[in-house]
């Protein structure tokens, strides 16, 4: 028996009118679809992406329902100065930021675990591309979270951040080591940053898309379709992102989405911990949580330097 599907509330989009939404990686794919959906419903959208994608971003803006309510800001999510400038530009143009969508991410183009990647001496070569994937998807997302909280902490009505995780952040047996590891890291950011975000009246949630036809999936999209497997469109994912961003009851949740299939992952995982690990582990973890709360958070170690 399947758990209940997450139902989408189309009326919730009315609440985004007049709000300002910052979306990273929004020059195409899921990010562009999300920008279009928010903008169609009256939101100001700030499209952030790499400078070389400026033309793509401008085409996206030209196709919006309200292009006058859109702004492109070139930004590399790994560059702190770029990201600081992004949020300042959003506030300067639209007055404040209400929603942040941490969408930008990449996947490796060569197998990280390729044991034939050796130099002329037969020594295995370092996988610099894998490190770039980890940097962009984890460090870049953390930069977005931190600046999002900082920018929205003074909003009278708080703010909302949605992370783009992936089903690869929960499963992942395809040997795409860099991407899968990085998306597990994004889920870790959801879990580790939620409490602090909440203290600043910022809700933090995530979406975990399964197959969606984008640049990342282009090499097997035809095979997936031929197999008759359930799939998303970028618009499908955008609607789930919007629900997570605007549903004031959602905090710390993550919704897996694949076409008509939508499942909440974080609360359902928590509900199964006793069944999974046993009553003793459940009690230990609960009591440990109470202790850390009493201590004002996890006591960090002193630097050895």
State yes or no: is 298 an active-site residue: no
Please choose, from the candidates 93, 82, 41, 36, the residue with its C-alpha nearest in 3D space to the C-alpha of residue 62: 36
Instruction: Write the CB contacts of 45 (distance below 8 Å, at least 6 apart in sequence).
Output: 20, 21, 23, 26, 35, 38, 39, 64, 69, 70, 71
Residue 219: its pLDDT value, please? Answer: 84
CA dihedral 212, 216, 222, 226 (to 10 degrees): -50
How many Cβ atoms are within 10 Å of 230's Cβ, its own excluded? Answer: 11
Residues 20 and 59 in one domain: yes
State yes or no: is 170 an active-site residue: no
Residue 249: its pLDDT value, please? Answer: 97
Q: Which pTM was predicted?
A: 0.95
Residue 216: its pLDDT value, please? Answer: 82
In a domain, 109, yes or no: yes
Distance CA 38, CA 47 (A): 12
pLDDT along the chain (305 residues), means of 10: 87 97 97 98 98 97 98 98 98 98 96 95 97 98 98 96 96 90 98 97 97 83 88 94 97 96 95 95 95 93 90
Distance CA 158, CA 154 (A): 7
Residue 230: its pLDDT value, please? Answer: 87
Residue 83: its pLDDT value, please? Answer: 98
Please choose, from the candidates 267, 195, 226, the residue with its C-alpha nearest in 3D space to the C-alpha of residue 6: 267
Residues 39 and 135 in one domain: yes
Residues 140 and 238 in one domain: yes
Query: Which member of 88, 179, 220, 298 is catalytic?
Result: 179
Asked if 212 and 167 count as a contact pair (C-beta separation under 8 A), the reply is no
The CA-CA-CA angle for residues 254, 255, 257, to 5°, reads 145
Distance CA 179, CA 174 (A): 10
Residues 204 and 107 in one domain: yes
String of DSSP letters for 113-126: T-TT-B-TTSPBPP
In a domain, 5, yes or no: no
In a domain, 230, yes or no: yes
Which CA distances in Å does 151 have to 26, 91, 176, 201?
20, 9, 34, 12
The DSSP letter of residue 220 is G
Asked if 260 and 236 count as a contact pair (C-beta separation under 8 A), the reply is no
In a domain, 88, yes or no: yes
String of DSSP letters for 38-52: HHHTT-EEEEEE-GG
CA dihedral 85, 87, 93, 96 (to 10 degrees): -150
Asked if 232 and 257 count as a contact pair (C-beta separation under 8 A), the reply is yes
Residues 239 and 209 in one domain: yes
Residue 140: its pLDDT value, please? Answer: 98
Residues 186 and 287 in one domain: no
Query: Which member of 183, 225, 249, 298 is catalytic?
Result: 183
- The number of domains in the chain is 2
Question: Which domain range does residue 277 map to?
Answer: 272-305
Residues 279 and 192 in one domain: no
Residue 213: its pLDDT value, please? Answer: 80
């Amino acid at each position: 028996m399947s758990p209940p599907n997450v139902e989408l509330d189309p009326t919730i989009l009315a609440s985004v009118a007049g709000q300002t939404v910052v979306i990273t990686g929004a020059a195409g794919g899921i990010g562009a679809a999300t920008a279009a959906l928010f903008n169609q419903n009256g939101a100001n959208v700030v499209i952030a992406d790499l400078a070389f994608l400026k033309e793509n971003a401008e085409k996206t803006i030209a196709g919006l329902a309200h292009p006058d309510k859109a702004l492109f800001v070139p930004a590399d999510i790994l560059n702190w100065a770029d990201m600081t400038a992004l949020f300042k530009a959003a506030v300067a143009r639209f007055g404040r930021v209400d929603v942040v969508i941490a969408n930008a991410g990449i996947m490796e183009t060569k197998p990280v675990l390729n044991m034939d990647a050796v130099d002329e001496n037969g020594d295995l070569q370092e996988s610099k591309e894998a490190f770039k994937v980890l940097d962009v998807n984890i460090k870049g997302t953390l930069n977005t979270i931190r600046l999002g909280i900082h920018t929205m902490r003074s909003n009278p009505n708080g703010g909302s951040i949605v992370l783009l995780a992936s089903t690869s952040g929960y499963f992942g047996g395809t040997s795409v080591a860099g991407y899968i590891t990085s998306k597990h890291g994004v889920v870790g950011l959801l879990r580790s940053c939620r409490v602090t975000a909440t203290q600043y009246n910022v809700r933090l949630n995530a979406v975990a898309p399964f197959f969606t036809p984008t640049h990342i999936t282009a090499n097997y999209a035809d095979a997936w379709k031929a197999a008759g497997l359930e799939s998303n469109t970028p618009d499908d994912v955008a609607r789930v992102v919007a629900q997570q961003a605007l549903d004031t009851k959602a905090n710390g949740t993550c919704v897996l989405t694949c076409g008509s299939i939508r499942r909440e992952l974080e609360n359902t995982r928590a509900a199964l911990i006793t069944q999974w690990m046993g009553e003793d582990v459940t009690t230990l973890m609960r009591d440990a949580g109470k202790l850390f709360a009493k201590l004002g958070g996890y006591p960090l170690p002193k630097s050895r330097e």
